[in-house]
Chains A and B, each alone.
Chain A
């Protein structure tokens, strides 16, 4: 009896110790996760739920909060300014993305070659992508100054392209041309780096073999370079679509959405509704509309990430 009991006691104490250890381990693991997890819940999970709820309310920082059902969504749907901003953003994406990708590709191919003074070339073509919007955009606005001594006006007049100084953000076409040009200049570097990374992974034997077969540079590009770059190009298109839908700073600094709303993008529209008119509920609804529009691209992005999880584990 006695021995049995003590045996029993021993067993339970061992299993207790084991489960205690397991619990201790689990707690330890949570201890590692917790510092991040708290912020994750507070600033990712809660905002997702909160933002969704807010979109069904008339909600401002000061003043009363009132449930309004789908009213926010309906009012936005019927607002021609919203649809104009959608159109503007989509057109911007359609024009700027192929431009950025082609030009970046060209520069990446050039910078892959053996060249002299490569560091300087990298600085010139790549570093602007890491500069902040305020420094870059105030400078560009200064170059676009409408006075005769605005740098762009001055040189265009000097080379006889213009007769008199013009105001660069006056007409929709001109304003968009400036926004797109500066955007390409600004963000191209990131894609160049991305493509350079991908180009370095192409085995050189492929080119040597093609050369032996008598393939020219053009054939090499189509049959070797492009297929090898397919994944990274695909990834970059998705990234840039998401980026294009975030267009705000250029509009803020150059045009303020004008003339007559022709450069107002979706985020700029959201900014005016949410923060200039303080209708946070309505602005929330706009952000969910935006989410719906870019949902497909977000899903593709997620798919790429999922694939990379599998490859890291496998």
Chain B
């Protein structure tokens, strides 16, 4: 094949894939387009319109009002709070623990590390019922901290960071020692930058995990002012019987839940592409 042939073939494959990609992404387009229509119009118009006749932003305005006692905006706010605080807190405890398990010597280190690895074999579902009960006993039912605390005990982040930290050359540490660098300073000035790719991957996965979490908040949250974005979207039209009655507003809420993730994906796609392969296979 000549160079020219190759180029033509590449153009053909590209065009074919673009067309397919457009079809593949229809749900996201349809979500956004529906969010620009009045719900009554969206459920009654025939045929379905790809370009709405009367574009309206009422659905987005409605998010700032309360709909049958539930404010989607409040849900958005709660979701941001939980995802940001949860990610930062999780990263903080995992960095410290990963450092202890990889660079510091103490009695029981090996035993603790292997316990950390072993519990990864238990599927998440095992923890659902006991977590529910523990949160109840701690009096944390229907609180935002109930969404964060149980995930802080997870060991995957610690495991991943430990895998990266163990590769830091000993000489680097010795040099820091001689300079009279304290452990904490060594950790934050040398170790943390060294494991940056793992940290970025962990924070992305953790943030998305909190942001998208559904079953757990569905179980523990009961009052509207504590709802996260997904729960407020499920709940605001739950009592109406017809799941499509508030479809315009629902799709506006859905789009607001998807848009930040899309932005994160576009901005961090390099890290995600590199990281997911290295991260999930445990840097093997």
**Which A residues contact B (CB, under 8 angstroms)?**
25-26, 28-30, 32-33, 35-37, 39-48, 50-51, 54, 59, 61, 110, 113-117, 119-128, 130-136, 138-143, 145, 147-149, 151, 154, 158, 185, 190, 193-194, 196-198, 231-232, 235, 239, 242, 245-246, 248-249, 267, 270-271, 274-275, 280, 283-284, 287-288, 290-291, 294, 298-299, 301-302, 304-309, 311-313
Contacts and interface: CB of A to CB of B under 8 A. Distances in A.
Q: Which residue of A51, A59, A123, A231 has the most chain B CB atoms within 10 A of its CB atom?
A: A51
Given A141-B243, A151-B26, 20 more contacts: A25-B104, A28-B104, A29-B106, A35-B97, A36-B97, A39-B93, A40-B153, A43-B149, A54-B130, A61-B133, A113-B10, A115-B13, A119-B266, A123-B262, A132-B261, A138-B254, A139-B28, A149-B43, A151-B30, A302-B118
Contacts of B10: 113-116
Majority SS of interface residues in chain A?
helix
13 contacts: A32-B104, A48-B126, A121-B17, A124-B25, A131-B261, A131-B262, A148-B46, A232-B277, A290-B126, A301-B120, A302-B121, A305-B282, A309-B163
Given A130-B261, A132-B257, A133-B214, A302 B120 contact: yes
Contacts of A115: 10, 13-14, 17
Given A140-B27, A141-B243, A242-B123, A190 B276 contact: yes
B158 A36 contact: yes
A36 B152 contact: yes
Contacts of B27: 128, 136, 139-140, 143, 185
Contacts, number: 305
B183 A43 contact: no
B166 interface: yes
A154 to B, nearest CB: 6
Contact of B117 (A42, A120, A136, A306): A306
B88 interface: no
B190 interface: no
Interface residues of B, number: 107
A119 B18 CA distance: 11
A131 B212 contact: yes
Given A25-B105, A36-B94, A135-B254, A47 B17 contact: no
Given A40-B155, A132-B211, A197-B276, A291 B257 contact: no
Nearest to A107: B17
B219 interface: yes
Contacts of B116: 40
A283 B163 contact: no
Q: Which of A125, A127, A270 gathers the greatest number of chain B CB atoms within 10 Å?
A: A127
B188 interface: no
A291 B127 CA distance: 11
B234 interface: yes
Interface in B1-43: 10-11, 13-14, 17-18, 21-22, 24-28, 30-31, 34, 43
Contact of B149 (A39, A47, A127, A135): A39
A110 B215 contact: no
Contacts of A158: 47
A126 B264 CA distance: 13
B215 A249 contact: yes
Contacts of B48: 149, 151, 154
A-B pairs, top 3 by smallest CB distance, nearest first, are A197-B277, A132-B212, A308-B282
B57 interface: no
Contacts of B247: 142
B208 A130 contact: yes
Taking each of B97, B130, B166, which has the highest tally of chain A beta carbons within 10 Å of its own beta carbon?
Answer: B130
Interface stretch (B60-68, B173-181, B267-275): B267-275
Given A25-B106, A304-B282, A32 B272 contact: no
A36 B149 CA distance: 11
Interface in B194-217: 208, 211-215
A33 B97 contact: yes
